[in-house]
Amino acid sequence: MPQIPTLTAVQLAEAIASGQTSALEATQAYLAAIEKLEPQIAAFNQVLADRAVQHAKNIDAKRQSHQHLPPLAGVPVAIKDNMCTSYGHTTCSSKMLANFRSPYTTTAVAKLEAAGAVVLGKTNLDEFAMGSSTENSAFAATHNPWDTDRVPGGSSGGSAAAVAARECAAALGSDTGGSIRQPAAMCGVVGLKPTYGRVSRYGLVAYGSSLDQIGPLARDVPDAALLTQVIAGHDARDSTSVPRPVPDYTAQLDEPIEGLRIGLPKEFYSEALDEQIDDAIHKAADAYKSAGAQIVEVTLPHSRIDTDEAGQLSSYAVACYYIVAMAEAASNLARYDGVHFGHRTDEPVGDIIELYSKTRSEGFGEEIKRRIMLGTFTLSSGYYDAYYNKALKVRRLIANDFTEAFKTCDVLLCPVAPTTAFKLGEKTDDPLTMYLADIYTISVNLAGVPSLSLPAALSKDNLPIGMQIVGPLFSESTLFRAGRMYEKVSNVARLTPALAAC
C-alpha cells in the first residue's frame, strides 16, 4: 500500500473501510508529518493530537465491530481557526481571542465529524480572515510549501499550506473575497467557494456577513466534491442558509459534460495579468476545446480592470468590495469591547470609553484597525449614501453581469490571482497592492455565485498557477464535473511540492 500521505481523502476513506489501513495509522502518519514540517510551514495554530487519536480509535472500534462507517471515516482534516469548536481554542489568529473557548461547534465542522473525519487541529489565517497572504496573523506567518520564502495566499493560507504539504488529507476554509480560492491557487490545491447560502455559516466568526462562505480545500476535485457533499445543506440556525436539496456531487463526477460552453471574460485577460498565468489558462481552454467544449468570449463590464499611467490597477469590483466588506467588518467587530468576551486590557481605565479604546488597541492588529476605521467612515453620517449605498448599487450591477454572461455559456474560466505566490514581506507595507491580489476573485463573492479553483500549470519558477471555474447559482455539480474534465486531460492534478510529507 502507498504511503498514507500520498492518498487522497477518497482513497484513504476506502482504504480504512476495507481494512487496508486503520484510522489510527492514518492519524498518526499525519501527526508525524505535522511534527516534522511545522517548523518550516507554520500552518497550524493548534494541534489537537490526543483528541484526534481518541477519535481515530473510536472509528477503528466501529469498523472492527462491523458497524456502518460514514463516508469520511478516519480521514484526518484541518479546520480554519475562525470556525468555532467546543474543543480547543478559537482564536481567529488574533490577540483579541487568544484564549477564547467556544461553547458550541460550527455546523460545517460538526457535519464533517459526523461523517467520520478526524480533526487534527486549527489552522492559521490572516487575523479575522482579513488579508491575502496569511502574514497578518498575530501568532506567525505561514509559509508556502512550494517555496518557504513565499506566502501561501490568504486568508485560508494555513489550511491550503497544510493540504499542499500533506499535513492533512483535506481542510476547511472560508471565502469572503477569495480566501479559499487564492491560497488554493498559490499552493497548488483545489478549493471551492460555494454558492452563498449553500453551506451554513453558523459558528463561523463573521467578517463580511453578506459575503462569507465556508468551503473545502483538497488534493483534487473528487475530494472537494465529497467534502462539499458532507457540509452542504440547510441549517435553521443560519438565516441565510437556503432550504434547497443537496444533489449528489460525486454521482456523475467522472462523466464529461457534452457540449460544455466555457466563457472567457474579456475584461480579465489584459496587461494586468501575468503572462505565464494568461498562457496557462488559455492552454487550459484549448484542452477543454480538444475535449469537446465550446469556447466563447463574454463580458463582465462592471468587473473591468483598468491600469493608470503609473501602472496601478483599479476596478469597480475592488472599490465596491472594500466598501461593503469593511462596513460589515466594522459592524461585526464592534462586539469585541473587553466586556462581553475575549481580550480585556489590564491597564487602569477611568471610564468605559477608555476601556473600549485600550482593549481594542491592544487586541487588534494594524490591518484590522485599518479596516474598522474605513468601514466606520463609510457608514458614518453624511457618507453612508455617498459610499455604502452606492456600493450596494454597483454590487447589483456586478451580479447582473454574471447573470447575463451565463445566458451564453455554462461556466466562466478565469484567473484566480494576477501573479503566482509572492515573497513574504513583499506587500506588507502597501495595503492597496495587497488588496489587489484578490482582483479576480471578489466579484464572485459580490454576486454570490460558486467558483472552483484548481491547478492549471506550474510556472517557470516551479510555482503553482491556478484557474477558477465560475458557475451560476447552485451549479456546484457542473463546476465539479468541469474541473474533473480538466484534471483528466492535464498533467498537473494533485501537484506535490518537494517539501511534502510523502
The letter for the amino acid at 495 is L
State how far the Cα of 76 lies from the Cα of 30, in Å rounded to an integer.
Answer: 7
What CA–CA distance (Å, rounded) separates 87 from 348?
A: 33
- Which of 335, 315, 367 minimizes the C-alpha distance to 134? 367
The cell 513583499 sits on which residue? 426
Sign of the torsion angle spanned by Cα atoms 89, 93, 97, 98 = positive
Beta strand extents in 151-243 (DSSP E only): 170-174, 190-193, 214-218
Name 164's Cβ contacts closer than 8 Å, sequence gap at least 6. Answer: 144, 145, 146, 152, 187, 188, 189, 495, 497, 500
Phi-psi label, residue 255: left if phi above 0, alpha if psi -120 to 50, beta otherwise? beta
For β-strands 76-80 and 411-415, DSSP reports them as unpaired
Say whether 210 is catalytic: no
Residue 335: Cβ within 10 Å count = 11
Q: Say if residues 160 and 191 touch (Cβ distance below 8 Å).
A: yes
Catalytically annotated residue among 80, 111, 122, 427: 80
- Catalytic, out of 156, 179, 475, 477: 179
Tell me how far apart the alpha carbons of residues 110 and 163 are, in angstroms, rounded to a whole number: 20
Residue type, 247: P
CA distance 57 to 269: 51
Nearest to 175 by CA among 12, 336, 321, 393: 321
What is the pairing mode between strands 464-470 and 411-415?
Answer: antiparallel
Residue 111 known to be catalytic: no
- What is each CA distance from 44 to 40, 168, 225, 402, 468, in whole angstroms? 11, 11, 24, 36, 26
Q: Give the phi and the psi of residue 92 in degrees, each rounded to 5.
A: 55, 25
* Separation between Cα atoms, residue 379 and residue 324, nearest integer Å: 10
SS3 390: helix
Candidates 94, 102, 155, 475; catalytic one? 155
Catalytic residues: 80, 155, 179
